[in-house]
Structure 1
Amino acid sequence: MKIQGRTAVVTGGGGGIGSAVARGLVHRGARVVVADLDDAAAERVAAEIDSAHPGTAVAEGGDVARTEVIERLIARAAAEFGPVDMYFANAGIAGAPGLDLSEDQWDQVLDVNLRAHIRAARLLVPGWAERGDGCFVSTASAAGLLTQIGSAGYSVSKHAAVGFAEWLAVTYGGSGVHVSCLCPMGVETALLREGERSGGRLGAAATRAVTSAGEVLTPATVAAGVLAAVEEERFLILPHPEVLDMYRRKGSDYDRWLRGMQRYQESLLDGES
């Protein structure tokens, strides 16, 4: 899919993968709305982009899991640059480790990591299908394919995000709507260290599981892979190629994989004591 000349919205654009994707999009000739719950972070990223490429980036703050905020993003993009061609549902949160999440916290994790994607797709995808063109990129995680040690909310919501992206691709791929799903392991962002900061053994194990499973990549490296996949119209984006081997082993013998994950968790917890 050609990126040049497109209008894009990137959520979670105030830092990490989102800000790197926004910069990469503009470098490839797109115009972008940088959205983030942190208004100041979104403004900073958009200002940096716009100073280098005038007239290509604006910022919007707000909770991108809320339908009215997504509607505002789409309207702002249309007013500044034209109808939205590409939507990067990138915002994400981890939530508390284990079963410690309250009902409200479960709702928040599911809202940000899953329902935000559903709400954006509901507003954009039918119109894209009618015109035969559009691109939806879901930031999930290797946890959506393999499960994240320590974090129930993150694992469940990311599995669901992968499932929803698959459904979009199956249902609308034949109508000219391209869907990609990003499933990285460790990326050097604030989210990577949340488990360590939780103060609990299971949270610390969650961070160690990710950082010890493979190379921790920079957001810029991941963003480059995302945009290459969009241009090539590939669904599954795996910045860590080893995830595919792990996924195949999981599918080939589920019980063996579960026993291995149990042992791995025990080793991570023992390593802390």
Structure 2
Amino acid sequence: MTPNPFKRADGFPKTAIITGGASGIGAQTVRTFYEKGCNVAIADLSSTWSAAEELILSLPDPHRAKYFPTNITSWDDMKDLFQRAERVFGQVDIVIANAGMMESKGFFEFEEEDGGDLKEPVDAYRVIDVNLKGTMNTLRLAMYHMFSNPLDSDGSRGSIILIASTSGYFGGTGVVSYISSKHGVVGLCRASQRVANEHHVRVNVVAPFVTPTYITAGYSTEWAKRGLPANTVEDVAVAILDSAIDPARKGSSVIVAGKMVREIEARRSELVGEWLGSDIAELMVEGGKFFDELGGYPLPKLRDQSC
């Protein structure tokens, strides 16, 4: 009998944590994993309480879903999220690092203070905090908790999906903080693979193209008028689910663009020689082997900051 990818080896339902799970792509991802039989932990800001509760009440068996008010930029909030999810559901098996935001002010809008000095771009920093720091918090705690999980029937201890964007690979729209943060999310996945593989945890990326949500409200209607393809939240949620349960996916990144779905990381690796030239590509491979043999990149000692 083929093992059910949505059940643990002991027969109990798997538990998925979805950050930013009260609305948009996150809410549809909650529904999609729930429909497959998973327990779902909805992690979102306290301001989303009514939306999260409405989502839970719309599910046939609300007991398999639980809302945890969480600010992903707060380490204490995130520690509490994982601890409470384990107390309620027993074990965390799947984590979707979905929570994110877009800036509301342009990075190059040079606002001045009363004295004429340039204002600090606080809004831009907030985007980096949520999209990158918050995702790092999510990944680090997910890995930590999954390391103690028993091996599943597919040989893994857990599955983590980081939600990036096509802006994590491209991005010439001038949305500086968002694009920078999503490039960081892609790098975070790449940098995690050695440790993830050692501990049998799979870390992958899903990178949606234009998807009508709150973030894209400013242009979604005009985009549709021009006949350009867009995702639905259902398209993205299915790609997240497929990546989360596929045991062959380790360090992959799936771009979702309308009904077109492409794995990009493996193809990127195949084209490195053509892109950089075979000599530099070979050097990159040898450099990777060198650091693997060392057990990772030797970190420099912390400099004395007392002077």
Deviations 1:19-57 (A, max 9, x none): 1111111111110111222222222212222xx124210
Say yes or no: does 1:43 pair with 2:53: yes
Which of 18, 24, 28 is residue 32 of structure 2 equivalent to?
24
Secondary structure, aligned partner of 1:93: coil
1:77 aligns with 85
1:258 aligns with none
Matched residue pairs, number? 240
| Greater alpha carbon shift after TM alignment, 13-22 vs 59-68 | 59-68
Deviations 1:153-198 (A, max 9, x none): 10000000110012123431242101121111111111112xx3xx
2:10 aligns with none
Q: 1:115 to 1:232 in 2, by over 3 A?
A: same
Alignment-mate amino acid for residue 3 of structure 1: F
Alignment of 1:8-19 (within 5 A): 8-19=16-27
2:140 aligns with 122
2:109 aligns with 100
Residue 32 of structure 1 contacts residue 56 of structure 1 at CA under 8 Å; is this kept in 2?
yes
1:88 aligns with 96
TM-score by length of 1: 0.77
Q: 1:211 to 1:134 in 2, by over 3 A?
A: farther
Residues in 1 aligned to 2:208 and 2:107: alpha-carbon distance in whole angstroms: 21
Structure with more of its chain in helix, by fraction? 1
Secondary structure, aligned partner of 1:190: coil
Which of 125, 128, 141 is residue 110 of structure 1 equivalent to?
128
2:256 aligns with 239
Larger radius of gyration: 2
Residue 186 of structure 1 contacts residue 211 of structure 1 at CA under 8 Å; is this kept in 2?
no
Alignment of 1:202-241 (within 5 A): 214-233=228-247, 234=249, 235-240=252-257, 241=260
Alignment of 1:107-186 (within 5 A): 107-131=125-149, 133-186=157-210
Identity, in percent, stands at 25
Say yes or no: does 1:2 pair with 2:11: no
Q: 1:100 to 1:72 in 2, by over 3 A?
A: farther
RMSD across aligned positions (CA) = 3.0
Residue 8 of structure 1 contacts residue 77 of structure 1 at CA under 8 Å; is this kept in 2?
no
Residues in 2 aligned to 1:239 and 1:103: alpha-carbon distance in whole angstroms: 31
TM-score by length of 2: 0.69
> What stretches of structure 2 of length at least 5 have no aligned partner?
8-12, 111-119, 152-156, 277-307
Secondary structure, aligned partner of 1:146: coil
The higher relative CO (CA closer than 8 Å, separation ≥ 6) is in 1
Alignment-mate amino acid for residue 43 of structure 2: A
Residues in 1 aligned to 2:55 and 2:137: alpha-carbon distance in whole angstroms: 25
